[in-house]
Structure 1
Amino acid sequence: MTRLPLTLACWNYDRTQALVDGRVRPDGIDLNVQMLEVEETFFRMLRHREFDVAEMSLSSYCVTLTRDDPPFIALPVFPSRLFRHSCIFVSAASGITRPEDLRGKRIGVPEYQMTAPVWIRGVLADEYGIDPADVTYVTGGEEQPGREEKLKLDLPERFRVERIGPDDTLSAMLADGRIDALHTARTPSTFYTRPDAVRRLFPDFPAVEQDYYRRTGIFPIMHAVVIRRDVYEANRWAARALYKAFEAAKALVEAELRVTASLRTMLPWQIAAVEEATALMGDDWWPYGVAANRTAIETFLRYHHAQGLSSRLLTVEELFAPECFEAFRI
């Protein structure tokens, strides 16, 4: 029987490794997996539709859904999740010591529509009353000059977004005090090279993030997996096959992380971390699927709309292939 050949682009996650090495094979599908940095995957998929299946920024995907002829449909598979309190950096020159001090400041973001800043702005609004329109955002390359938004945006006028200079980087501007803060996905290099000039807004971020989870039950989703819509429409069955395979690959890693005979990772206290995560978040602390993630997704969609990135409030049902909403039971 002929299997459907599909190209998948994603980063080299432990939870996708079994799809790369062949321990898990999607029913009826031959995967050609390309392990790429996420920024490259997003750029090539959003600009040129190069892959059949790809990891995708949740925010970028939502932006595409409100455009004519949306090019992708998502699976409720979330290869990247991260609490982002740790990713708010401030310039020592800014005088910022608490979240409320961000109001009225100039804040760098590599791209306004990036998922990490969407979560950060939303959390700051919900938790500390910082309206996203209360600050000025400056966009551009964090470490290399010239970065541009992957998608053209049409934001309401109340949001102030400016471009940095063609030779500037946000990392250097933060250390020099030319911007007051940075909302980002990657730790700026100047946090390490100029520690007296750049610091985290929340130095004890694990405690802050754990408290946030206890109160909200939200483990923020950064990326989903999307299928090019033309591929999906021609092979509707493939959505469920891929979803099952991603679930199986994740289950293998979850089991391996609990092995105490030898460590699955180089983290010395891996077992303690697993036990801590389980105690706080339950046995499946990294869930796929819609039901277990509905609150997190609906919260993100609310943020996305409130920040001018989606012209209307999207629904969870619009995001995902319907074949993945129901599970087969014996």
Structure 2
Amino acid sequence: MSAPVFQPVFLLCSERSGSNLFIRLLDSHPVFCGPPPSHLIRTLALNLTRLGDVAQDEKAWQRLLDISARVMQHQLGIWQCSLDATALARRVTERSVRGVISAIYTAEAHAQNKTRSVIKENRIHIFLPFLMQAFPDARYVWVVRDPRDMALSWKRSSNHPGDVRRGTQIWLQDQERFRQIFGYLAPAGQIMRLRYEDILQEPVPTLTALCDFLQVTYDPAMLNFHDKEDTKANAARIANWENLAKPLIGGNTGKFHEALTREEIAYIETACATEMHAHDYTLTEEPGERKAAEQAMELRYGQEDLALQWRALTPEEQAIREGRQNVIDYINALPIRLAT
């Protein structure tokens, strides 16, 4: 008997835009397993030309298993299932990168008595061709947040390098690419768009529509995500996840009005106006006033570096990030292989 087809749900979302909340909501559904982000898929998908012929070359195959196990050992969040390279090899049903990914997420789902996986990977648009080829039956959910609140959250985050301007750049780049992906996938009914604000303010109808799209029945347990023990453990582990241990905060929107300067708001609105209009976000300033405020911000900062330095991290988080970077450095040192 052939193994069941792995049909994941992928999340398209900018960082600091509610992605971890979304994963926790779906993880609280009896069907879906939504583990903390591993970024395994991005790591492998962007390095296919360094991994070698894993189907035919035993050394390349063992290296892939080892790399994948090492990536999974350096996770910020807590997973229920832990696989070393040997255990992973026993679970794989297809000798390929796709097979390794499927085996890891399926093992985690089984550990939680779930049947489907929902996966967060940052900047999915960079490796979308791999996902579409490897998982043709996957579904995608695009979650967008007001860029002014996203940039504020980015500015306040201890583990996101850069200030409001950096957050704005990331939001704009992501939404432009996600919109293109929407154009690719919408005709086939493979993608749904949600606003973060609607999830907070109208959770039941929004999540019901989401479940309809994913062909499952809405379950009220989704709104009790904060009561799950693994959610509490992860919220205590990472400072940026602390709100996951709380119920939905309906009023957790529009904070930029009080917390950002006029120049910061103008910078965001000037850069993101086209995409903001597409998602029905109302701009606060007239074009001429926005331009003047934007110029004031540029004069204030000039060509100053966007402060792309990590702010304070806990020793535990720093060690995890360093461990993951060591694996990436190892991969990047592998030779590139373009022979077919």
Q: What TM-score, normalized by structure 1, do the two folds share?
A: 0.28
Structure with the higher fraction of residues in strand conformation: 1
